[in-house]
Amino acid sequence: MAKDTRIIRDLTVGSVPGTLFRFAMPLFLSGLLQMVYNMVDMIVVGRFVGTQGLSAVAIGGEVLQLITFVAMGFSNAGQILISRAVGEDRKDRVGEMVATLFTLLMSLALIITGVFLVSYQGVLRWLNTPQEIWEYTRQYSVTCVYGIVFIYGYNLVSAILRGMGDSRHPFQFIAIASVINVVLDVALVGPMGMGALGAALATVIGQAVSFLFALRLLYKNREQIHFDFHPSHFRLHPGATKGLLSLGIPMVIQSAAVTFSMLFVNSYVNTYGTTAVAVTGVARKLENMIGVVSQAISSAGGAMIAQALGAGKIHRVPRIVYHALWIVAVPAGIMAVMTAARPEWLFGLFSDDQAVLTMALTYIPVAMVQYLGATLRPANFALINGSGNSRLNLMVAILDGILCRIGLALLLGVALNWGIRGFWYGNAFAGLVPFCIGSVYLASGLWKKRASRRAEEK
C-alpha cells in the first residue's frame, strides 16, 4: 500500500508564528463550527420553544459537558504523547498509543453511558433544574448521552490526527457535523415540532457521521499511524498505558474539577430562575467565541512544544508561548469591544425576552474578566501540557477547578451576599489561575529538564 503522508506534519520547522498560525487555524475553525452548531441549538430552540426551551438546552449542555470531560482529558494527553513520539521519531510508540487510546476511551464511553442512564435524575436534581423545564432538559440530556460513543470517538480520532501534526482533517469532519446539525435542527425543532429532543437528535446524528468519516481516514492511513485496526490489536499496551494514565489522569482531574466546579456554581445560579439560567447559558456561548481561539492555540501550542522538546529544539518553546499569547489577544480585544458596545444585540441573537436582555446588561463587567482569562490561559496551558508535566497539571486542577472557582463563588455570592453576580465573578476570576502558575513555570526554566530526560532515554 502506498503511503498517504497528508496526515503527517513536522511542527519543528519553519517560523514559529507561521507554523503556529497554520496549525491553529483549522483547529480554530473546527472549534468555531462546533460552537456555531451548539449556538444553533439554543437559537432555534429559543425561537421555536421560548425561554423554557432555551434554559433546558443550557442545562442539558452542562450535563453533556459533565460526561465528556474524560474524553477531553485523555484525548489531550494522547495528542501530546503522540506528538512527543513523532518528535522523537519513535514509530512503535505511535502505534501503541493509538491502540491504547482507542481501547481505553471507547470502553469508558460505554461505561459512562450506562452509569448516566441510571443516574441522570439525580444529576438534574443536583443542578437544581427548575420543575417547569424538567421534561425538556431530560429529553435533551438523555438523547445526547446515547451519542456519547460518537463524541468520545471523534475526540480520540481528532487527537491522533493532531498528534501527527494534522489539524486540517479534523476541521473537515466537524464541518460535516455542523452542516448536518444545522439542517436537522431547523427541520426537527421547527416544522416537526420536536423541541429540545429534536436539537439533541441533530447533535448526535451530526457527531456520528463526523466520527465515521474520521475513522475511515485513519483506516486508509493505517500505515502512517502504525496501527492496522485488527480486532486483536485493540488492547492496552503497558508502556503506553502508563504514560497515558500518568499524563491523562491529571488532565481528566483538571477538566473534571473545572466542569464540576462550574456545575456547582451553576446549581446556585439555577436557583435564581429561568431568566438567570438563560442569561448564563447565552453568556457561556458568547465567551466560547473566544474560548475556541484559546482552545485552538492551546492545542496547537501544546503539540508544537511536545514535538520541539522531543526533537531537542528547546529554543522554540519560549517563542511558541509568546506568539500564542498575542494571537489570542487580538480577537479577545475585538470581542470585548463588541460586548461592551452592543450587549443587547449579542444577547438578542438568542432571545427577545426583555427580562433576559435586561439582566444581560449586568453581565458585561464579568464578561471582560472572562475575556482576559481566555487571553492569558492558552499559552500557559500549551507549555504545561506540551512539556508533559502531570504534577503541575494536577496543581492547576486543584487551584483553578476547586479551591478558587468554588471558593471565590461562595465568598462573593454567599459570604459577601453579592447574589448572582458573586457566582459569575467567582467563576471568572478563577480563570486567571493557570496564567499565574504557567508564567512562574516558564520563568523557572524547569520545563527544559523534560527535553534533557528524553534525550537521555533516546
CA Rg value for the chain: 21
Residue 289's CB is within 10 A of a number of other CB atoms, namely: 22
pLDDT-based confidence at 321, cuts 50/70/90? very high
Q: Report the largest interatomic distance among the alpha carbons of the chain, rounded to a whole angstrom.
A: 67
How far apart CA 427 and CA 404 sit, in angstroms, is 8
Please report the pLDDT score of residue 240 as a whole number: 87
Query: What is the percentage of the chain residues whose pLDDT exceeds 70?
Result: 94
Is the pLDDT at 256 greater than 80, yes or no? no
CA atoms of 219 and 364, how far apart (whole Å): 47
User: CA–CA separation, 116 vs 263, rounded Å?
Assistant: 16
Q: According to the model, what pLDDT value does residue 4 have? A: 43
What is the average per-residue pLDDT within 228-249?
A: 85
User: What does the pLDDT average to over 365-381?
Assistant: 89
pLDDT over threshold 50, residue 148: yes
Smallest Cα–Cα separation from 300: which of 9, 25, 105? 25
CA dihedral of residues 279, 284, 289, 294 (deg, nearest 10): 160
List of long-range contacts for 111-116, beta carbons under 8 Å, 24+ apart: 112/67, 112/70, 112/148, 113/145, 113/146, 113/148, 113/149, 116/67, 116/145, 116/148
* Ranges 29-43, 94-108, 166-180, 271-285, most confident: 94-108
**Cell numbers describing residue 333:** 480585544
Is 3's pLDDT higher than 60? no
What's the whole-number mean pLDDT along residues 392-404? 80
Which amino acid does the sequence have at 43?
Answer: I
| 319 pLDDT tier (thresholds 50, 70, 90) | very high
Buried b (16+ CB within 10 A) or exposed e, 349-373: ebbebeebbebbeebeebbebbbbb
Q: List all residues 6 or more positions away from 187 whose beta carbon is below 8 Å from its beta carbon.
A: 198
pLDDT in tens, 50-100: 777 777 777 777 777 777 777 888 888 888 888 888 878 787 788 888 889
Type of residue at 226:
H
The answer to whether residues 332 and 377 touch, using CB atoms and an 8 Å cutoff, is no
Of 374, 377, 378, nearest to 299 (Cα)?
378
Average pLDDT over residues 111-135: 82
147 half-sphere exposure, CB direction, 13 A CA radius:
23
**Which of 157, 160, 222, 175 has its CA nearest to residue 36?**
175
**Residue 168 near residue 24 (C-beta atoms within 8 A):** no
Residue 254 · residue 397 · CB < 8 Å: yes
Q: What is the pLDDT of residue 320?
A: 92
Q: What integer pLDDT is reported at residue 120 of this predicted model? A: 78
Q: What is the torsion angle, in degrees rounded to the nearest 10, for the CA atoms of residue 328, residue 330, residue 333 and residue 334?
A: -120
Q: Residue 8 pLDDT more than 80?
A: no
Q: What is the pLDDT of residue 251?
A: 80
Residue-wise pLDDT for 179-192, tens only, equals 888 888 788 877 77
pLDDT of the residue at 140: 83
Does 313 have pLDDT greater than 80?
yes
3-state secondary structure the chain: CCCCHHHCCCCCCCCHHHHHHHHHHHHHHHHHHHHHHHHHHHHHHHHHCCHHHHHHHHHHHHHHHHHHHHHHHHHHHHHHHHHHHHHHCCHHHHHHHHHHHHHHHHHHHHHHHHHHHCCHHHHHHHCCCCHHHHHHHHHHHHHHHHCHHHHHHHHHHHHHHHHCCCCHHHHHHHHHHHHHHHHHHHHHHCCCCCHHHHHHHHHHHHHHHHHHHHHHHHHHCHHHHCCCCCHHHCCCCHHHHHHHHHHHHHHHHHHHHHHHHHHHHHHHHHHHCHHHHHHHHHHHHHHHHHHHHHHHHHHHHHHHHHHHHHCCCCCHHHHHHHHHHHHHHHHHHHHHHHHHHCHHHHHHCCCCCHHHHHHHHHHHHHHHHHHHHHHHHHHHHHHHHHCCCHHHHHHHHHHHHHHHHHHHHHHHHHHCCCCHHHHHHHHHHHCCHHHHHHHHHHHHCCCHHHHHHHHHHC
What mean pLDDT do residues 31-36 have? Answer: 74
Average pLDDT, the chain: 82
